[in-house]
Structure 1
Amino acid sequence: MPATASFPALTPARRLDAHKILWLLVAFSALSLYPQSDVIGTILHLRVPDTDDAMRLVEARDLAAGQGWFDNVQHRFLPPAGVPSHWSRLVDAPLAGLLLLLTPLFGRGLAEGITAAFWPPLLLGVYAAVLFFGVRRTFGARAALLALLAATQTFGVTVQFAAGRIDHHNLQMIAILGLSLCLIRGGRPAGIGAGALAALSLAIGLEGLPSVACGALFVVGDWVLRGRTALPAFLGFGLGLGLGAPLLFGAQTGPQLWTATACDALSPPWLWLAGGGLAAALACAGLDRRLASVPARLACVAVIGLVLIGGFAALFPACLGGPFPGMTPLVRDRWLLTVNEMASVEKFVARGQWEVLVYYPVLALAALAASRAAWRGTPAHRRAYGVAALMLWPALAIGWFQFRGIYVASGLVPLVAGPVLDGAFRCAADGTASLRRRAGLAALAIGLVSTAWMVPALVAGLFQDGRSQAAETGAFACMADTAVAPLAALTPGTVLAPIFLGPSILMLTPHTVVAAPYHRAVAGLTAAIEGLGGSEADLRRQIAAHGVRYLVACPAQPAIALDGPAFATRLARGEAEAGWLEPLPLGGDVLKVWRVR
């Protein structure tokens, strides 16, 4: 009997059925990202995942209420002067637009909840569309579907599109994914698109700066190696970035700030590099006929690069040390280096925070797989894998020292995982493939699915000290609406509270706050660190300096003591008293609240 008699070939109808099943799996996985409890909690109680989401809603609310487009000061933060935000109005605008549209229909409270709940799924749909069509063009329809399935299992992606996640990282993820796919496609129109998306990413926030730099290096390196064939993409990228960045900067920045240096946001230092990139592309295009060899082109871009970097160092020396030039050692050591997004992988492991296993190893495997495929893979796919590898390796290196380095690049993991999963299925169906090859591809494919890493993370968690987890749970309880919202019943005044509580108080009450987790507010951060972590004299001094009316403490997560037991911590535990503070019964067992007499 012929072999085909026992195993008949798949008919088009059967292939279609498999295709539909895969779509159903993708749809089910996507829907499972939004549990009913999370969506309802966001709509009815404004439960958002992070302090940045709370602050973003406050900014969008103020814009919808009539605060000026170019007025980026949060006036209820560190009064009376307020704190100028480094965040983008391009993110505030659609949220404010939704609030204006929905408020007449549902009232302000529900309008804010609906906006916070459904904006992230809408953006997930955009991300999924960009990913699907980009992967399908290069790797085929099944690989594209598998990339979507991998995206729904990639924690670095799903956390950025969760209900209530209205911060800007999801938009940056879309921009950098689109930039990468444009570079893979090549040509002038795609180059212009890549440059424009790079400009958009910078206008939203500088977290995508390493990816933008890698995109620029790719088009430059491609031109150096291939010459005139790669020139259209190089020139297009320069045009898109060099023209797009100043336009977006001017669209969201008041004219009085056009010459102000801001190391943490799109401003003259970064416009210098963007404009220099455009000038470099135009210069190389003009000299292309005279630069017939790789060494000549390399020498040309090396000279231009030295001029750009030297000019940056000479004109904007403050930015050479990073985006936080005005931060004091006290704030850096006692706050900045304690937050998770600034922690290294080693610190996560030392703390017993094994959830890092569902993020970092997947990124490392994606970088390794992309690098190998770019070097030894199918010629038609090498460019795509090369772009992915170039974007992933810097994120991997930065992410080892600062966890936030993996945020944006995690969106590229499905770009690699989808084709690898497709290849593993093809290999499994290939009777001529060796067992070793099948097993290797299967292991790689499983390793690129971050939910598979939950098993070792959970096992490792069984052996960890539960104190850090209890403290984190306590902090979330202190930020919950049930704990913070009762403060709204008090006469509006200035609140000194733990740093992480600031955005929740701004979102859920009419009060002003002294401190919130933002690096521009050094005075407020100092007040919270010294006042809540120091002696009674330190606390009284900071309360007087900032006109504080209410003191709030979170006993579950006390401030780090500066020297000996902190007075505010002892006060919250009932181990100390102060006649100049009147206890208020509004916080229940979660928060402790006092009025300053």
Structure 2
Amino acid sequence: MPDRAPQAALPATRFKTTTLLWLLAAFGLATMNAPIDIAATLFHLRVPDPDDAMRLVEARDLANGQGWFDLVQHRFGPPPGIPSHWSRLVDAPLAGLILLFTPLAGRTLAEGIAAALWPILLFGLYALVLMRGAKAVYGPRAALLALIVATQTVGIGVQFASGRVDHHGLQLTIILGLALAIIRGAGWLAGGLAAASLAVGLEGLPYVAAAALFLCADWVWRGRPASQALTGFGVGLGLAAPILFGAQTDPARWGMTACDAISPPWLFLAGGGLILTLGCAALDGRLTRPTTRLAVLAVLGAGIVAGFAALFPICLAGPFTGMTTLVRNHWLLRVNEMTSLPTFVARGQWEALAFYPVLILATLVATRLAPQGRAWAVAATLLWPGLLMGISEFRGLYVASGLVPFVAGGFIDRVLTTGTRERRLSSVAVAAGLVSTIWIPIASLGETLSPWPRTAPDLQGAMTCLSDEALSGLAALPPGRVLAPPFMGPAILLHTPQSIVAAPYHRAVPQIAASIQGLGGTEADLRRAMAEQGATLLVACPARLSTDLQPQPAFVSRLVQGTANADWLTPESAQGVIRIWRAAP
């Protein structure tokens, strides 16, 4: 009888623990998006970022009948418009949601429903993949802990926020699935997901390369037991990549090199990987030592790299080909996505604490535990590229953040069950540090004690310039072509019938240059830019005026401040938050 009481209490304790974890998960899920943000997306089509606005414009055009292979945004830089490097694999579900809800709610509300619903559905998919993977590797409690951490990871929350319809949420979900497939040894599935990642966007390329290197190293070390996974990966990637490329690319462009999207250069690498893995499989029985396997792999790999360099040298410089110094210095390097960790530290931007520490800790934890299991080793292999990219460019954190809850769930579960008291004290601190909301009070305290001396324009005021209300006056005007700051371009396309000269996309370098020179230069510069681009309307956001390109304030800045005027520019009566002028013919 004395032995039964503890045994009976154990299930009750486990039930209470599970219930508590589910309650925490439910709370996290319920608080990921504030109701006011969801309402703003539903009824005002407010989205977090210009990329989200441009994605909605693409989806709207597709729903309105624009051709599947026609990826040109015809109101951006017309004529002939700017071809997008984005994927129809992301446009399609959004367009489908718009068409689904239009008969029920009307087109305007249907677009808001699609923008609000898509991130929720996508997070549901991410959570399902995360929990199934964590449960299979670490157990059910770790799966629940991973879900809780996911709802508290700021780097994930921003990618699934209401209106966040850009491709990063889908990309990080695919890469998580890729990691789990490698852990299971399902090489063919990992290869297919790698191809899907490349088709969605080349942000996944470093992770695909890291996954391939992991499987190659595994084969070098273990030989035949690892051969099936490596071969499956090569076959899955080599076959799926051209299929997905053909499914979303105009046949007339199949032979055109694009360094910023899936195209012949990257298909060459996928095909080379297929040949490499088949070659390794064919020779596997003869290569009995790791050194000989490494030598064969090195020769085949060097041939692929040399072929890529010889055939596609332009892509060795990265995706931003043809970028001028003016555009790089006055646009690209000022985009928040391109900010480096040293820059965040030098500026004293404490909000970086919500993003970087958890990724650093997850990478170190996975690396430390890599010798103890395949799951930790795979996680470490895929986290390191994200961390290194994130140190140089903030956007490098986006995809890697999706792996943090997987590592955190397994590690926190481990801390709860193992280790001496001394080790557990340090481990508990690390486990807590893997939850990014823990760092928010520290960041807030730092900002209070040592605020960042902001010299940049008012960010909130700039966001106000992108709202449907701010742009309502512009929307009411007869359609024309607008010269405006590039960051306003997508919002103008989304909320008005106007065409635009510039938007923040690297395929529109001449248009961005015209905007920078016109808005940041003299009256002559402005007039020349508007004439060359065929712009009939000038729009300025007082909260974010363009950078002056000469010692004196730019002419447009003085127009906004009322210290300059021009007889060839007529202010429109409907001004509001933004300023609008019509140019004389």
Q: Same fold (TM over 0.5)?
A: yes
Does residue 560 (structure 1) correspond to residue 572 (structure 2)? The answer is no
Q: 2:438 aligns with which of 449, 452, 465?
A: 452
Is the contact between residue 349 and residue 452 of structure 2 (CA under 8 Å) also seen in structure 1? no
CA distance in 2, matches of 1:146, 1:585: 56
Q: 1:539 aligns with which of 507, 517, 526?
A: 526
Deviation sequence 1:330-364 (CA, Å, 0-9, x none): 11111001101111011122233221111111101
Paired letter, 2:322: G
Does residue 419 (structure 1) correspond to residue 410 (structure 2)? The answer is yes
Is the contact between residue 539 and residue 581 of structure 2 (CA under 8 Å) also seen in structure 1? yes
CA distance in 1, matches of 2:120, 2:82: 31
Quote the residue 2:378 is aligned against. 387
Deviation, 1:468, is: 4.8
Q: 1:291 aligns with which of 287, 308, 317?
A: 287
Quote the residue 2:390 is aligned against. 399
Deviation, 1:417, is: 0.4
Secondary structure of 2:465 counterpart = helix
CA distance in 2, matches of 1:467, 1:497: 24
Deviation, 1:8, is: 7.8
Deviation sequence 1:110-142 (CA, Å, 0-9, x none): 000000001001000000000000010010000
Is the contact between residue 188 and residue 233 of structure 2 (CA under 8 Å) also seen in structure 1? yes
Does residue 522 (structure 1) correspond to residue 518 (structure 2)? The answer is no
Secondary structure of 1:63 counterpart = helix
Quote the residue 2:349 is aligned against. 353
Quote the residue 2:423 is aligned against. 437
What is the TM-score with the length of structure 1 in the denominator?
A: 0.95
Paired letter, 1:448: L
Q: 2:562 aligns with which of 564, 571, 574?
A: 574
CA distance in 1, matches of 2:35, 2:165: 18
CA distance in 2, matches of 1:329, 1:472: 25
Paired letter, 2:412: L
Paired letter, 1:15: R
CA distance in 2, matches of 1:468, 1:194: 46
Deviation, 1:425, is: 1.9
| CA RMSD of superposed structures (Å) | 1.5
* Residue correspondence of structure 1 range 149-548 to structure 2 within 5 A: 149-186=148-185, 190-375=186-371, 377=372, 382-427=373-418, 433-462=419-448, 463-465=450-452, 467-468=454-455, 471-548=458-535
Deviation, 1:13, is: 3.2
Quote the residue 2:15 is aligned against. 16
Is the contact between residue 457 and residue 544 of structure 2 (CA under 8 Å) also seen in structure 1? no
Secondary structure of 1:10 counterpart = helix
Deviation sequence 1:375-419 (CA, Å, 0-9, x none): 3x4xxxx10000000111111111111111111011000111001
Deviation sequence 1:500-552 (CA, Å, 0-9, x none): 00000000000000010000001110011100011110000000011111101
Deviation, 1:493, is: 0.3
CA distance in 1, matches of 2:71, 2:472: 25
Deviation, 1:98, is: 1.0
Deviation, 1:485, is: 2.6
* Worse-matched range after superposition: 14-23 or 159-168: 14-23
Deviation sequence 1:9-58 (CA, Å, 0-9, x none): 73323312321221121112111112110111100000000000000000
Secondary structure of 2:316 counterpart = helix
CA distance in 2, matches of 1:154, 1:184: 23
Deviation sequence 1:60-115 (CA, Å, 0-9, x none): 00001111111100000011110000000111011111111111111111000000
CA distance in 2, matches of 1:519, 1:352: 29
Deviation, 1:3, is: 11
Deviation, 1:4, is: 10
Quote the residue 1:142 is aligned against. 141
* Worse-matched range after superposition: 289-298 or 468-477: 468-477
Deviation, 1:469, is: 7.0
CA distance in 2, matches of 1:401, 1:4: 59
Deviation, 1:486, is: 2.5
Secondary structure of 1:552 counterpart = strand
* Worse-matched range after superposition: 231-240 or 350-359: 350-359
Paired letter, 1:459: L
Paired letter, 1:322: G
What is the TM-score with the length of structure 2 in the denominator?
A: 0.97
CA distance in 2, matches of 1:586, 1:204: 40
Is the contact between residue 242 and residue 275 of structure 1 (CA under 8 Å) also seen in structure 2? yes
Relative distance call for 1:436 and 1:470 in structure 2 (3 A) is farther
CA distance in 1, matches of 2:573, 2:443: 40
Relative distance call for 1:469 and 1:20 in structure 2 (3 A) is farther
Quote the residue 1:430 is aligned against. none
Paired letter, 2:31: S
Paired letter, 1:29: G
Secondary structure of 2:320 counterpart = coil
CA distance in 1, matches of 2:480, 2:146: 50
Paired letter, 1:396: L
Secondary structure of 2:580 counterpart = strand
Deviation sequence 1:445-465 (CA, Å, 0-9, x none): 111000011122112212224
Paired letter, 2:281: A
Runs (5+) with no aligned partner, structure 2: none
CA distance in 2, matches of 1:468, 1:282: 56
Is the contact between residue 423 and residue 441 of structure 1 (CA under 8 Å) also seen in structure 2? no
CA distance in 2, matches of 1:385, 1:346: 28
CA distance in 1, matches of 2:435, 2:203: 24
Deviation, 1:472, is: 1.2
Does residue 116 (structure 1) correspond to residue 104 (structure 2)? The answer is no
Deviation sequence 1:234-289 (CA, Å, 0-9, x none): 01101110000000000000111111000000000000000100111111111111
Deviation sequence 1:461-509 (CA, Å, 0-9, x none): 1222453576211211111222113211000000011110000000000
Paired letter, 2:562: G
Runs (5+) with no aligned partner, structure 1: 428-432
Paired letter, 1:479: L
CA distance in 2, matches of 1:13, 1:360: 39
CA distance in 1, matches of 2:240, 2:17: 43
Is the contact between residue 98 and residue 115 of structure 1 (CA under 8 Å) also seen in structure 2? yes
Secondary structure of 1:290 counterpart = coil
Deviation sequence 1:289-319 (CA, Å, 0-9, x none): 1111100000011001110100000000000
